[in-house]
Structure 1
Amino acid sequence: MSANALFPDAAPWATHALDVGDGHVLQVLEFGRPDGIPALVLHGGPGSGCSPLLRRVFDPARWRVICPDQRGAGSSLPRGCTAHNTTADLLADLRRLREFLAVDRWVVAGGSWGATLALAHVADQPSAVAALLLRASFLARREDIDGFFGPLSLDDRATGLDHAEPAERERTALAWWRHEQMRAGTAGAEPQGDALAAQIDRLRVQAHYLRHGCWLQSPSLLERCEAVPRVPTQLIHARDDRICPPEGAQALQRRLPHARLRWVDDAGHDAGHPAMIAAVMTALASYAEHGHFGEAA
Structure 2
Amino acid sequence: MEELYPALAPHASGMLEVGDGNSLYWEVSGNPDGKPAVVLHGGPGSGSAPLSRRHFDPSAYRIVLFDQRGAGRSTPHVSEPGVDLSGNTTWHLVADMERLREHLGIDRWLVFGGSWGVTLALAYAQTHPARVSELVLRGVFTARRSELDWIYNGGAAHLFPEEWADYLAPVPQDQRGDLVEAYRRLVDDPDRAVSERAAVAWSAWEGAIVSIVPQLSYRTGYSAPAFAVPFARIALHYFTNDAWLSDGQLIRDAGLLSGIPGVLVQGRYDAVCPPTTAYELHRAWPGSQLMLLDGAGHAITDPGMLAGLRMALDSFSGS
TM-score (norm 1): 0.91
1:190 to 220, 233, 236: 220
- In structure 2, the partner of 1:15 is 13
TM-aligned CA distance change 1:225 to 1:117, over 3 Å: same
Alignment of 1:165-204 (within 5 A): 165-185=191-211, 186-187=214-215, 188=218, 190-191=220-221, 195-204=224-233
1:217 to 229, 246, 260: 246
Rounded to whole Å, the distance in 1 between the matches of 2:100 and 2:261 is 22
CA–CA distance in structure 1, aligned partners of residues 149 and 209 of structure 2: 13
- The Cα offsets for residues 124-180 of structure 1, whole Å up to 9 and x where unpaired, read as 111100111011110211110111112451122222222223222221122112210
* Most deviating of 73-82 and 118-127: 73-82
SS in 2 for 1:268: coil
Q: Which residue of 2 aligns with 1:294?
A: none
Q: What is the one-letter code of the residue matched to 1:32?
A: G
Please say if residues 10 and 27 of structure 2, whose CA atoms lie closer than 8 Å, have aligned partners that are also in contact: yes
Which moves more between the two structures, 39-48 or 223-232? 223-232
Q: Taking every aligned residue pair, what percent have the same amino acid on both sides?
A: 40
Is the CA contact (8 Å cut-off) linking 1:158 and 1:207 kept in structure 2? yes
- The one of 92, 106, 113 aligned to 2:116: 113
| Paired letter, 2:250 | L
Secondary structure of the corresponding residue to residue 140 of structure 2: coil
* Aligned equivalent of 2:145: 142
> What residue in structure 2 maps to residue 238 of structure 1?
267
Deviates more, 1:155-164 or 1:138-147: 155-164
Name the CA distance, whole Å, in 2 between partners of 1:138 and 1:64. Answer: 26
Q: What corresponds to 1:29 in structure 2?
A: 27
Q: Once the two structures are superposed, what CA deviation does each residue of 1:80-139 show, in whole Å capped at 9, x if it has no partner?
A: 142300111011111111111110110111011111111111111111001110111102
Q: Note if 1:229 corresponds to 2:264.
A: no
SS in 2 for 1:136: strand
Distance of aligned partners of 1:192 and 1:98 in 2 relative to their CA distance in 1, 3 Å threshold:
closer
In structure 2, the partner of 1:53 is 51
In the alignment, does 2:298 pair up with 1:269? yes
SS at match of 1:190: helix
Q: Which moved more, 1:228-237 or 1:156-165?
A: 156-165
Gap runs ≥5 in structure 1: 292-297
Amino acid at match of 1:113: W
Separation in structure 2 between the aligned mates of residue 219 and residue 125 of structure 1, nearest angstrom: 19
1:39, 1:70 → 2: CA distance?
16
Deviates more, 1:167-176 or 1:134-143: 167-176
Contact 1:120 1:224 in 2 (8 A): no
- Specify the SS of the correspondent of 2:39: strand
Structure 1 pair 232/119, CA: closer, same or farther in 2 (3 Å)? same
Where does residue 183 of structure 2 map in the other structure?
157
Contact 2:18 2:96 in 1 (8 A): yes
- CA-based RMSD of the aligned residues comes to 1.8
1:42–1:111 contact (8 Å) kept in structure 2? yes
Counterpart CA distance in 2 for 1:192 and 1:127 is: 37
Q: Distance in 1 between matches of 2:209 and 2:97?
A: 30
Query: Which residue is equivalent to 1:102?
Result: 105
Residue identity in the other structure for 1:19: E
Q: Match for 1:42 among 37, 40, 43? A: 40
Name the residue aligned to 1:63: 61
| C-alpha deviation, 1:184, in angstroms | 1.3
Secondary structure at the aligned position of 1:61 is classed as coil
